[in-house]
Structure 1
Amino acid sequence: MKTKLLYFIITTITSFNLYSQNNRPQEPKEPFEYISENVVFKNNLDSISLAGTITYPKMGSDFPAVILISGSGPQDRNSELLNHKPFLVLADYLTKRGIAVLRVDDRGTGESEGNYNETGLNGFVNDTESAFEFLKTRKEINHSKIGLIGHSLGGIIAPIIASEDTDVSFIVILAGSGIRGDKLMLLQKEIIERKMGVPEIGITQGQNNMKAAYDIILKSNENQTELQVELKNYFTKVFGAMLPESQIQTISEQMSIPWLTDFIKFDPQTALSKTKCPVLALNGANDLQVPSKENLETIEKILKENGNEDVETKQLENLNHLFQESKTGLPNEYATIEQTFSPKALEIIAEWIKQRTE
């Protein structure tokens, strides 16, 4: 029983040691039908350089544009995971339909400077705002038609920026949360464990154990070292008979990194309530990491209650957290699915953007 209680102590920091297929039929190959240019720009607030790729059609000008914002964990400009490159596939699809795309290496990843795990949510917001200002310098871009597409954690960052900057033309939230981080992580843990067949007594005990840990984070100040010590003491008390000290230390370190503690404390409704630009929110019905029903309903409710009249939400059948067509939605499927990004989802995103920028 003890080992069963340890499933998914932390579900947002996951290492997938899985067999990963190499066949990715959607991945575009050079030569491309459009301009693909590697770029570097400055985040002056944090004094770092960020690197990425901008793509735009060969013919014409004054293009609408989007910035792609990745989910949690340091990712390169293609948001590469398990041989999938979803941001490359998404950028290729949109650019072929007349929409310029900027995708960026997360700080500390690829060719971008900085340290991801020493950064809070505000740092990621600053990075995306810097990308936004960079696009305004590009002569190919219609500066009044620049939007944001955020996946998962990026779906939280996009409304933060849109709520503060009226120059943001629109946002697309892909598997973004509408509920506070601690509540999302508990819901995610419960749903995944139940799908895996963990006994109900184990699920209940796991909820109680992790809720107490999140409560420590919710009450904490900004001192990362003190929080890490407090979490280690707590996990030693709860799991000391089942886990080696080194593992408890690792868990405590992971749960006290700035962006994760910010996420646990952050309620997306604070930004959504102030977001007035057009919003498209998509979730897969098989998304076990950001369950669609609870989050889409909350996102739509908050936006509309606060006067946003251009809101569209869609639950897409059979799609998982990565927007792949899936059977179970469990993370252990991600690597084995050949599809990188559902064609249906790609079409919905492109058509919605074109309707609001043409």
Structure 2
Amino acid sequence: MNKYPSFRLLKLQIVKSIFFLFIFFAILQSSFTQANSEMVFLSSDPNIELAGTLTIPETLEISAAVLLLPVAGPTDKDLSLGNHKYYKVLAEGLAANGIASFRYDDRGVGQSQGEFLQASLEDRVQDACKAMKFLKKELNDVEDYGYIGMSEGAGVSILSSDRCESAAFMVLLSLPVRQGDVEMKSQMKRLLASSFFTDEQKLEIEKEAMKFLDLASSEDSESKRKNILEIMEGKYGSVILPPYQFVPKDPVEKTDFVLSPWYQSQLNYNIQEALSRSSIPTLSIYGNLDQAIDPIANAKQVKEISPQSEVRQMEGINHLMQEANLGSPMEYALLPTSFSKDIVQLISKWILKM
């Protein structure tokens, strides 16, 4: 028996060694593609500090820097949901392409001070202005700064760029263009259409939801709180509001939630005039499985209001830019992947073309 290994076996061992070396160096390189720095800055309220993370490419020259602004609701800097950290994935993907980013915890979330529900949409816009100013100061040798916003964060990006801190470009993900109360009514209809209620129940819930939204967006009065509480305590009070984690379960707490500065400003959300004034390069991305907003109607309005915007509609993508099966909010945390890698690359390539 030959005590020396055959040439074929030796060749196989060499190939395996090269393969494992390749994997080792790939892992080693990926772990050094970005550096994270935890930072604190003052919000638009001088008594409230906001905490965030600056992620910069460590092995590449910085080509651009972006401010990441998240969806509606109390959100941490990573846009965490279940095991997913959508904005952490996005920040790391951008850094791997030479793009720095800054993201921060909403008021009253994570390490940030303040109370989320007491902050209106205008407060969020002004906080974003402060964050962009902070980013420009920290990375003052970068030539191009931009906004990347998702859902409400996309609207905040437009308003911030329009009112206080201009940018070289914007990337708008799942942007709601229509006024807040109009979009909420449309959202309720879409969620009901995919629910397990009977047709008769769907009609009853829709009627009650439309009544609720009209009441919630009406002028303040002595009877407003009483009437909203009656709906929340009623037969369909538990399903009138979308099933998001931050929505309270108790009828009284739900009523307080609806009357909060944050929710009331959501009803009056309107970015159309600001978008029409914008002349900077803009990429808008919608997922065809989005159930939180109407992707087709909103994409059409973006093109009508802002003809220079590039609009992309992605197959198999939900509201959070996640590869999905149905697109339902109930599905988000259960899906195996977070922010779509294909969309990270699409965004990165588009920014690098600027």
The two structures have a TM-score, normalised by structure 1, of: 0.81
Q: Deviations over 1:259-298 (max 9, x none)?
A: 1111112223132222221111111111111121011111
For residues 42 and 63 of structure 1, do their structure 2 counterparts lie closer, same or farther at Cα, with a shift above 3 Å needed?
Answer: farther
Match of 1:268 among 268, 271, 290: 271
Mapping for residues 153-172 of structure 1, pairs under 5 Å: 153-165=152-164, 167-172=166-171
Q: Deviations over 1:206-263 (max 9, x none)?
A: 2222222222232224x8x9743442245557769x99xx943233122112111111
For residues 196 and 217 of structure 1, do their structure 2 counterparts lie closer, same or farther at Cα, with a shift above 3 Å needed?
Answer: closer
Using CA pairs under 8 Å that are at least 6 residues apart, name the structure with larger relative contact order, 1 or 2: 1
1:231 aligns with 2:214: no
AA at the equivalent of 1:259: W
Q: Deviations over 1:117-156 (max 9, x none)?
A: 11100111111111111012124542x5111111111111
List runs of 5+ in structure 2 lacking aligned partners.
Answer: 1-27, 241-248
Percent same amino acid at aligned positions?
Answer: 27
Match of 2:284 among 266, 281, 286: 281
The structure with more radius of gyration: 2
Mapping for residues 17-56 of structure 1, pairs under 5 Å: 31-56=31-56
Mapping for residues 63-142 of structure 1, pairs under 5 Å: 63-139=63-139, 141-142=141-142
For residues 352 and 60 of structure 1, do their structure 2 counterparts lie closer, same or farther at Cα, with a shift above 3 Å needed?
Answer: closer
Q: Distance in 2 between matches of 1:261 and 1:44?
A: 20
CA RMSD of the aligned region, Å? Answer: 2.6
What SS does the corresponding residue of 1:113 show, helix, strand or coil?
coil
Report if aligned partners of 1:227, 1:256 keep a CA contact under 8 Å in 2: no
Partner of 1:23 in structure 2?
Answer: none
What SS does the corresponding residue of 1:196 show, helix, strand or coil?
coil
Q: Distance in 2 between matches of 1:227 and 1:277?
A: 42
Partner of 1:348 in structure 2?
Answer: 346
1:321 aligns with 2:319: yes
What SS does the corresponding residue of 2:334 show, helix, strand or coil?
coil
Partner of 1:188 in structure 2?
Answer: 187
Offset of residue 95 of structure 1: 0.8
Partner of 1:57 in structure 2?
Answer: 57
1:202 aligns with 2:189: no
Question: Paired residues, what number?
Answer: 318
Q: Distance in 2 between matches of 1:60 and 1:352?
A: 17
The two structures have a TM-score, normalised by structure 2, of: 0.82
Report if aligned partners of 1:194, 1:200 keep a CA contact under 8 Å in 2: no
Q: Kindly report structure 1 stretches of 4+ aligned residues shifted beyond 6 Å.
A: none
Report if aligned partners of 2:44, 2:123 keep a CA contact under 8 Å in 1: no
Offset of residue 332 of structure 1: 2.3
Offset of residue 62 of structure 1: 5.8
1:303 aligns with 2:306: yes
